[in-house]
Amino acid sequence: MGRTTLVYVCFNALKKGWKEGCRKIIGLDGCFLKGICKGELLCVVGRDANNGIYPIAWAVVCVENKENWRWFLDLLIDDLGLNLGYGYSVISDQHKGLIEAVKELLPYVEHSQCAKHISQKLRKRYSGAQYESIFWKACKATKEVDFKVAMKELELLDPSAHQYLMDKDPKTWSRAYFQPGRCCDAVENGMSESFNVVIVDARKKPIITMLEELRMYMMERVFKKKCKGLG
């Protein structure tokens, strides 16, 4: 499917703020437009020094696929100065097209999976609180030995569940394998989901109206944060 894009937005104040004061991790996500005009909104959200949500850029595309993610990432890399991704981390729900685009444009970035997304899939396959409890124990382990202890517990409980999680590549979802220096131990892409919830009403409107509401929201947000910082 060919690339059909409409608009990309990244305000100078937002990219400058991210470069100067945010953690070296970004969350990538796509969400459907809910109005008459169909399509998807691709968003990138960072984390500030207080671990709070920090929207960076967004784009309207007709469909979420590799070509559109590649177009979006190409512009984002230029704006944020990510180069090939060395020293930075990306977290997402691992959409196939996004995975391929990240591998091509950011070969040295650490690409983590959203643990919540994995947990939801695990719950569908294996019912029972014990499965989720062990998963989160392995997910949040900060040392490899603690991760292995948790996974051994799961293997004794259910070998197939153990294999299912191992096939998900633990290096992409367990803290025990995260790169040092990323200044963030997040295992979920909650920031992107929170941003999508905030703009859900705007996503129901015509594209130009939606973009204008996003612009106003961002301007007011930056102003309020600045006043709070000075106050």
* CATH code, domain with 208: 3.30.420.10
What is the per-residue pLDDT for 231? 63
- Give CA–CA dist 32/42, Å, rounded: 9
Residues in the chain where the model's pLDDT stays below 50: 1-2
- For tokens 């996503």, name the residue: 203
What is the per-residue pLDDT for 2? 47
In a domain, 184, yes or no: no
Q: Are residues 87 and 13 part of one domain?
A: yes
Helix, strand or coil, per DSSP, at residue 4: coil
The residues, any chain, with a CB within 8 Å of residue 193's CB and separated by 6 or more, are 29
The CA angle 47-75-85, to the nearest 5 degrees, is: 55
Q: Are residues 120 and 110 part of one domain?
A: no
- Give CA–CA dist 18/24, Å, rounded: 9
In a domain, 125, yes or no: yes
- Give CA–CA dist 7/60, Å, rounded: 5
Burial 169-185 (b: 16+ CB within 10 A, else e): ebebbbbbebeeebebe
What is the per-residue pLDDT for 1? 43
Which domain does 120 fall in, by range? 116-177
The CA angle 138-141-146, to the nearest 5 degrees, is: 80
Q: Are residues 98 and 61 part of one domain?
A: yes
In a domain, 182, yes or no: no
The CA angle 115-175-180, to the nearest 5 degrees, is: 135
Helical ranges in 81-183 per DSSP H: 96-105, 115-125, 129-139, 144-157, 159-166
Q: Are residues 66 and 108 part of one domain?
A: yes
Compute the residue count for the chain.
Answer: 231
What is the per-residue pLDDT for 20? 92
**Closest CA relative to residue 104, chosen from 54, 66, 50:** 66
- For tokens 């809910």, name the residue: 34
In a domain, 97, yes or no: yes
Number of domains making up the chain? 2
By the 8 A CB rule, do 48 and 80 touch? no
What is the per-residue pLDDT for 151? 97
- Give CA–CA dist 189/196, Å, rounded: 11
In a domain, 18, yes or no: yes
Q: Are residues 198 and 224 part of one domain?
A: yes
Q: Are residues 143 and 98 part of one domain?
A: no
In a domain, 67, yes or no: yes
Q: Are residues 96 and 122 part of one domain?
A: no
What is the per-residue pLDDT for 49? 86
Helix, strand or coil, per DSSP, at residue 216: helix
What is the per-residue pLDDT for 43? 95
- Give CA–CA dist 106/69, Å, rounded: 12
Q: Are residues 36 and 147 part of one domain?
A: no
Which helix (H) or strand (E) covers residue 226, if one does? helix 207-230
